[in-house]
A = this chain, B = another copy of it.
Amino acid sequence: MRFANRSLDPAVRKMLGEANKDGIETVWDRFELQQPQCGFGLLGICCRNCIQGPCRIDPFGNGPQKGVCGAGADLIVARNLLRSVVGGTAAHADHAYEAAEALYLAATGKAPYEIKDEAKLKSVAAKLGIETAGKDKNELAREVAETAFADFANHGTSPMKWLTATAPQERVETWGKLGVLPRNPDREIRTAMHQTGMGVDSDPVNLILSAVKLGLVDGYGGLHLATDIQDILFGTPAPVVSEANLGVLKADHVNIVIHGHVPLLSEKIVEWAKKLADEARAAGASGIQLSGICCTGNEVLMRQGVPVANNFLAQELAITTGVVDAMVVDVQCIMPSLADISACYHTKLISTMPIAKLPGAQHIPFETDKVDETARQIVRTAIEAFKNRDPQKVNVPDEKSRVIAGFSVEAIVGALSKIDSEAPLKPLVDNIANGNVLGACAVVGCNNAKVIQDSFHVTMVKELLKNNVLVVATGCAAHALGKAGFLTPEAAEKYAGDTLKAVLTAVGNAAGLNAPLPPVLHMGSCVDNSRIGDLVSALAGYLKVAVKDLPIAASAPEYQHEKAIAIGTWAVSLGVFTHLGVVPPVLGSKQVATILTSEPVESLLGGKFYVETDPVKAAEGIIAHIKDKRAKLGI
């Protein structure tokens, strides 16, 4: 089949054919044009950190083995790795900080958000040691926001509060002994940028320890903080039924695609799309259809049931359907090419964030205190654009799949408590102990043009499920699995091994679904990897073991972003065996590659990276790891 080497997704293959016919350049075309990619960069042995460079190390040992300053391959690789982790961590911390700022402004009456989830607010406050009794929700929310601000203003040596309040105690002690407990997230980011400058750190091991520290900033000052605050503001997700793939776009509707990562604006767009439906009908449309791409898509799917248009690699192709009246972007993973592509259609490309503009896009600035006006203007801009559609260019593929999403930890525990209200985790743990559930794997991360879109996710997950490994998913991985039909009760029938299927059926029936739970639980966006961290921490706590001892694993089969490297570093630091399906740029240093994938990382942290580019072999490696952990637990 045409374009089988580009994507597993039939809708994407179809649209690629159309794009090809119309001479529209896509990410795959650009990837092909970039071949061959620079071998020095791929190995991580290119340094551009000062103006004496750029320097390159000859991986064959014939040419230069040191940069101008004297940095060898180990140092260059470690330094580049830390800068990547800093880039990802800064993205997540900035996201979380914006959420905390919005919570503060909402709580003090300066931003038109309502605090939707008082139960979550109280639970977060309690974890932080904030007295909750007798406080109204705004007062409590202000104190929670101030606690976040205090982490970002910590001038002492005490570790980040959001970490000590939410990470397992065993881990806090382990990290403390290693000297990698982060203090103020911003201070750690600044210091790591300093550390990686020319002539500062020459010690690859010291740099990797800093990467671990930054990974913890990412996990707790980025992911966990963002999820906590977003749940408080917009509600903790609960299971919700929706659809995924380009077929969710409706030719007779005003289509607004929301894309990016931070839900502060998109939640309001959802609200205003409902309010302005009559205006859309007055303009000749049957209504307004919202859909999402990337993690902003996941956020509104999890909380509002907004369908998913597609994941990272197909963002351009959404526009080529000719029915996207507005694509609204916030931050991260937004291809710069979108401006060129939307210029070939009637689509209004709308940028909204001060740090993410696109030449050629219309900029409608997001400001927390005027977010309603912004959202209203965006929806109205889409309605106006609808009038300019070119019927000749309309071409919406039929493909879409039903998905069940919204599996927050609270929702999972809620479903399990239907079986055992006293000890909700017991049914899951019992079924892991008796081998009905072999273990669990978190499948997360992006698409990457180096991998046939979605194929690694799908092929590997099939193997895992067949072997009774329960899968949880986030990010573009969850989109991939959703499009491929794994987020449904039927998938339990189709893909799960017999014992896993029985457990999913029992839990689903007990939860009143009259059907099995999906074998892949959609736990949210990339920042919602914190939910997975909480789940495994809770399991470890219930079992009175460390996370590193659980029969679990994580995998980012098709990752591309620095954020994924930061998340992976956090996962390994938490003690999780973490698979990568794309080779990270570290192979130029045997020392760094060895540290990351075996000793001493595993003995110090319990987790390690596992790199395998074949999906079936990767599943085998993950299963072998799970079996090994089971054996060590004596189950």
Q: A interface vs B, CB < 8 Å?
A: 25, 27, 30-31, 33-34, 37-38, 40-42, 46, 48-56, 63-64, 66-72, 75, 80, 86-88, 90-91, 93-95, 97, 101, 104, 149, 152-153, 155, 184-187, 189-191, 193-206, 210, 331-340, 354-359, 448-450, 559-565, 582, 584-585
- Taken together, the copies of this chain in the complex come to 2
Q: What 8 pairs across the A-B complex have the smallest Cβ distances?
A: A70-B337, A41-B54, A153-B153, A90-B193, A186-B186, A202-B336, A203-B357, A195-B355
CB-CB under 8 A from A199, the residues of chain B are 331-336, 561
Residue of B nearest to A195 (CB): B355
In the complex, which of the residues A64, A97, A155 has the most CB atoms of chain B within 10 Å of its own CB atom?
A155
The answer for the CA separation of A16 and B307 in the assembled complex, in Å, is 68
15 A-B pairs besides A33-B66, A203-B358 with CB distance below 8 A are A49-B562, A52-B449, A52-B450, A52-B560, A54-B585, A68-B449, A70-B337, A70-B340, A87-B196, A87-B197, A90-B193, A97-B187, A186-B186, A197-B562, A202-B358
Contacts A336-B70, A358-B203 known; A87 to B193 CB distance under 8 Å? yes
Q: Would B70 and A338 count as touching, CB distance under 8 A? A: yes
Residues of B within 8 A of A359 (CB): 202-205
Known contacts A191-B355, A359-B203, A449-B52: does B38 contact A333 (CB below 8 Å)?
A: no
Contact A30 B448 (CB under 8 A): no
| CA distance in complex: A68, B585 (Å) | 17
Chain B residue with Cβ nearest A64: B33
A34-B561 contact given A46-B48, A49-B87, A186-B189, CB 8 Å threshold: no
How far is B149's CA from A155's CA once the two chains are assembled, in angstroms? 7
CB distance from A338 to the nearest CB of B (A): 7
A226 to chain B, nearest CB (A): 13
**Contact status A206-B90, CB under 8 Å:** no
Closest to A312 in B: B199
**CA–CA, A87 to B66, complex, Å?**
22
- 13 A–B contacts from the bound complex (CB under 8 Å): A33-B63, A42-B54, A66-B336, A69-B335, A70-B340, A90-B190, A94-B191, A149-B153, A152-B186, A184-B186, A200-B331, A200-B334, A201-B357
Question: For A450, what are the chain B residues with a Cβ–Cβ distance below 8 Å?
Answer: 51-52
* Docked pose: A198 CA to B68 CA in angstroms: 29
On whether the beta carbons of A50 and B561 are closer than 8 Å, the reply is yes
Between A97, A153, A338, A355, the greatest number of chain B beta carbons within 10 A of the residue's beta carbon is seen for: A355
Q: Say whether B202 contacts A51, CB under 8 Å.
A: no
A357 neighbours in B (Cβ, 8 Å): 201-203, 206
Highest count of chain B CB atoms <10 Å: which of A52, A55, A63, A189: A52
Residues of B within 8 A of A203 (CB): 357-359
Name the CB-closest residue of B to A63: B33
In angstroms, how far is the closest chain B Cβ from the Cβ of A525?
15
Neighbouring B residues of A33 by C-beta, 8 Å: 63-64, 66
Q: Please determine whether B202 and A339 come into contact, CB atoms closer than 8 angstroms.
A: yes
Q: Which residues of B contact A155 (CB under 8 A)?
A: 101, 104, 149, 152-153
Decide if B51 touches A582 in the complex (CB within 8 Å). yes
Nearest residue (CB) in B for A294 is B199
Bound-complex Cα distance A205 to B66 (A)? 35
Q: Which residue of B lies closest to A26 (CB)?
A: B70
Instruction: Return A473 CB to nearest CB of chain B, in Å.
Output: 19
Across the interface, A34 reaches (CB within 8 A) one of B67, B189, B335, B565, namely: B67
